[in-house]
Structure 1
Amino acid sequence: LHFLVFHTEEVHDVLRIWDGPQDGGVLLRELSGSTLPPDAHSTFNAVSLQFNTDFFTSKQGFALQFSVSTATSCNDPGLPANGTRSGDSKEPGDHVLFQCDPGYVLQGATEITCTEINSRFFWQPDPPTCTAPCGGNLTSRTGLILSPEYPEPYPHGRECDWTVSVTPDYVIALNFNQFSLEPSYDFLHIYDGPDSLHPLLGSFYGTDVPDRIESSSNTLFLAFRSDASLSSNGFVLQYTENPRESCFEPGVVRNGTRVGADLKLGSTTTYYCDSGYTLEGDPTLTCIMGSDSKPSWNKQKPICIALCGGQYSGLEGVVLSPGYPGNYSSARTCLYSVVVPKDYGESLPLATSNQVLIRFTSKGQSSSKGFHLVYQAVPRTSATQCTSVPEPRNGRRMGNHFAVGAVIRFECSPGYVLEGSTAIECLTVPNALANWNSSVPSCIVPCGGNLTQRTGTILSPGFPEPYLNSLNCVWKITVPEGSGIQIQVISFVTEQNWDSLEVFDGGHNSDTMLGSFSGTTVPALLNSTSNQLYLHFFSDISVSAAGFRLEYKTVSLTSCPEPVVPMNGIKVGERLQMNHVVSFQCEPGYTLQGNSHISCMPGTVRRWNYPPPLCIAQCGGIQGEMEGMILSPGFPGNYPSNSDCTWRIYLPVGYGAHVQFLNFSTEANHDFLEIRNGPLDTSTVIGRFSGQDVPPSLLTTSHETTVYFHSDHSQNRPGFRFEYQAYELNECLDPEPFRYGVVVGAGYNVGQSIAFECLPGYQLMGHSILTCEHGTTRNWDRPFPRCE
């Protein structure tokens, strides 16, 4: 087969080619997209082609030529893209070996053999392919890491992780040969260690080729993430192991910082403690050649601790309880002395002198986290010096100088908004002390608002204090089109049943409600199917509670929400991305109501084109299968009142139904089930059942069976469930031999008739026509006649 044109909708419109018949043949190709396929060769004298299209986009299609030749050897197995082949002979019994280029993984066998069966020549197994994998564990001393499906553009929605491990006491050098990712949306994260819990060396995107990276140990972890939209050419990375010429990463110190990133021999790194902490140990480490001839640090890493008491003399500082941020120990008394120059006071709280003594005593057995105090020396208020300005609660102050002309700015923590001026200035006042031009602002929680940032925080009004009564707050979140919103619930407590937060999947309260939440029951994550969410919080006139803290972020809308699987049904298909189809099937005995196939629709909102269907047990119906299940209406729930349901089972002639009950519960005497041996309402009743006892199994002797159920106006029960299976009825006895006569007709199945005739000179004694009757064991309707 030689392709002249090929252009179909990628993934959704597919041409499949079988070597031989579709049933029993070998699938040669599965083609879609716009790439012109290479020639395909059959090994059978037939080729089957099947072209499937979905209900969306169509393209130009395809045109191909075929030519016929006589097979005397195997076809050329070809050369795998991104791989090599050794061996060119194609005679039966010959072998060909395959190997992939660095960075690619062989999909299939490394060796294939030319095989001949009934003049058919083919390779066994099929020739392999070479693909760039999505992640893996790499342990060789050198190698390549490729973006998935390289050199083709990488696929959407991929999460690929690679772990590179080389010889212990070696480090890894990583060079970027090619690099092109969608800016700001597709990322390659590289961590200095075996997993993402270790230090991040860099997050890379765009088309700028990053500089060389070197690990500090013998492992690297690479995480590639692509979103649901644009892709690019990807990357080619080369790694090699190098002898370690530097010390291992010494790590950071808790409650402190480190200065010095060079880890080579002779370099130094120095540790400093955060304000309020004291360094224990030597602050400076030097990388030297150790006694084992390997680079190592000359001293242990120091620690930063919060002491019990101390002398403080700087213009600003921090006073901590002992052991902070851990719990202080019991039975301690700590004295902290803070002394600043005489021309200054202190804001801890504002003191009138330049000295403060802080005494902390812990007496009981239990302890807690303690305290964290910040002090600052401020010049005494004068004609050129304004009063000190405190940090706003739930916000921060930017600026530490309060002299005339100084400007102090303020901003609030996430979820809070500034009430008052964003900045104040210290001004001179004639014949008076300097003063600020405006009062210090405060940070409050708004009751609602329009949020358009890609990330944000939503708090109940007054948070972290309890919210007020009689609130009616609305927040509307809007992010760029094509994106979705994910809300993470950090904390949530409201008055049960009376104070509620409603979340709507869209920009209005008429859109689908994701949920109404009160008390403490709320899912950890809420996801939108569009770029908008609408939140409505209301409280009544009485009890309040601690409230809530929600954080939202913008996420890629890669898929539709997980569809609800109908009760008594199953879902077929796990892919929920755009244009993918999910189907539903009902368990035996149930009937599907709605659409059996739903598709994830394209557009700015990810929604299914139809709601998920239901699986219900209907009142009556027709069964034409050789086996099946029949349920009372509404099973396993109670059947409805005043029901009259008729089911008919139609089997091929010569078969009956074997009925076996699995469940049975009806109102005794009033609600009943009848099994009739035939298709009519007047057919013989072979079983009538009512009450709680499960009926015994029974056999019908007709290929048509009627099932009738009746319920009255009063008590209802769960009803019944039974399965039936066709069984073959025996033929009637063979009438041959018939002395002195002949039998006309050769059919001995149910309903068939035969005739008897005597030879000349003999007289028929009995009936001349006999019919094979219904029954579990077949009998003729009359005795055999005789000729005398």
Structure 2
Amino acid sequence: MGSSSTASPSQAPTTAGTSLAPRAGATLVPGDEEGTTTTSTITTTTVTTLQGPVPCNRTLAGPEGWLVSPEPAGVPYDGSLDCTYSISVYPGYGVELKVENISLAEGETLTVESTGGLEPNLLANESFLLRGQVIRSPANLLTLRFQSPRPPSPGSYHFHYQAYLLSCPFPARPAFGEVSVSSLHPGGDARFRCSTGYQLQGARRLVCRNATRPFWSAREPLCLAACGGVVRNATVGRIVSPGFPGNYSNNLTCHWLLEAPDGHRLHLHFEKVSLAEDDDRLIIRNGNNVEAPPVYDSYEVEYLPIEGLLSTGRHFFVELTTDSSGAAAGMALRYEAFEQGHCYEPFVKYGNFTTSDPRYPVGTTVEFSCDPGYTLEQGSTIIECVDPSDPQWNETEPACRAVCSGELTDTAGVVLSPNWPEAYGKGQDCIWGLHVEEDKRIMLDVRVLRLGSGDMLTFYDGDDLTARILGQYTGARGRFKLYASTADVTVQFQSDPGAGAFAYRQGFVIHFSEVPRNDTCPELPDIANGWKTSSQPELLHGTVVTFHCYPGFQLTGTDLLMCHWDLTWSGDLPSCERVTTCRDPGDAEHSRRVVSNPKFPVGATVQYVCDKGYVLAGAGTLTCHDRAAGGPKWSDRLPKCIPSYDEFYSNRNLDAVAKAVPSGTTLEGTNIAIAVFLPVLVVALLIGGIYLYFSKLQGKPALQLPLAGSHPYDHITVESAFDNPTYETG
């Protein structure tokens, strides 16, 4: 009796907000049938209503796993479906999520967020989630949320996730310094050092720490030029003013003390000195304090000593003072210590040298050379250490400078803007001539081009300014190349004489080299799994080469390449990639189709279902098959859906046809039949008459009909004409 009144799960109420719990203080008597029924109903309601947790909420952990959409609910839910998935991996690792499959209905949303930081970071949503896409979270926590307004038939999705090792960002290289990194992963380190003349401000070594987001143990250090300092046991080095090569500050008083090792002296070389014309001052003293006698004072000396300065003892004292107004680039001084009885180590900026003895005793010779693009000036190429009583070089060291104009005849070289890497001057008019072997031509590689708006750089395809212009440029531009058609190129640079200082940039750097001279583009190689055809045998300017692929392969890239006037091809070489999918077979009229995979890979199927009133003519299912020769192909032709005649000629259709035909149609049909039959009858009678006439002329009976009782096989005898045992025995 109690079981008849107990509600089954399918009968459980599903109205949200309805409470079936007993009121406070109510007593349930075990023998009371009504009380037993109420208790059973409450239990069933707890299972089937939405008051419990949504079944698609999950927390996933571990280095790898799968995330699959929930199956459609057996019992409809009220309201919307809201699924939240949380993926967690070890600190120091991120989460990589790959979309294996996704199919969402209209109105459904799916978002992917990285939740390892202070605030969630949106990585993707349903608009950008495509099959095969990979999403990386920069932290060890990732949240995926799916919302559907129609729970009975929600969309589907399938994701694969795995952990990947996070890393620290690459540390910034300090200005006027270098950085070397052993590893960007946790435990790796980065080491910093400064160029000569600059001091490291900060940690010299940083370590990548493991965390939710790995980080460096400290901020990247800086390389700064200090205002003053003491250099003990000075051997070779450099001192620069604060801010160099930028401007120094106002109201500075900087003192540097240089002290050579015992038994050594110092040589000071002026790399650059640029002071404001007010009360800024540079003093170099031959001693170790401010009271030592000066050997250089910018107030009293108009020109820098090309040969530099020599100390009589172990010390130099350098003093730089600036006032409250004006500023300039300051100074850069290079120092070298050398033994008594020896010459100092020579130095040439933007160049190099070779020596007969690296200790530089008397009799040592040194030969100088400049870096590509620079020219030796103001000195001799070879100098010698002389005078045993007071060793010194017989000539001052030369200087290497980027000059305006020149004739270059090497097979390769560099052209630099005047005064590079510093700014070129106003009103420059420079011409360089480049010449290589007559059977070669010149390739120009313009690596740096930063000019003022009123400045011009022009390339001529020949040995004078009347030749064809290869290119003419102003302003800034990225790296590019030019090819001359001859063995000579003329380069002309002109700077605006009236522009302000702000218009002058770094200039330009041009590398040139000789390349084979011909009038054709280089031969294009054959492509794998394909072939090429040319519009003409010789690859002259204007020749077009067309690329084709063998069956089963498709072309990736452009199929046409043209030989340009500079004897370069118009694009990159294409390739033939194997076709792994069938083409879309198309739609059959009056039907719908079911596709297993919209990309139609090998093995995919397309099933056609005709609309009502039509039947299928042909294969109902097409399968994409791979072929050894040629690309994948469908198993059959596209079917057709034709009208069903049983349906068409049903009573209802016949009645409809009868009603649709007007009464006058019968008479019109009879007239048409008579008009067709009469001509046929006349022709038949005419042929019959001609036959009877000729039969009488030949004496033959007009018409011979077989007897009614004769058999068509009477003329065949018992003996068969076939000499075949099989038939004889039969």
TM range (shorter): 0.3 to 0.5
TM-score by length of 2: 0.36
More strand by share: 1
Structure with the higher fraction of residues in helix conformation: 2
Task: Say which one has the larger Rg.
Answer: 2
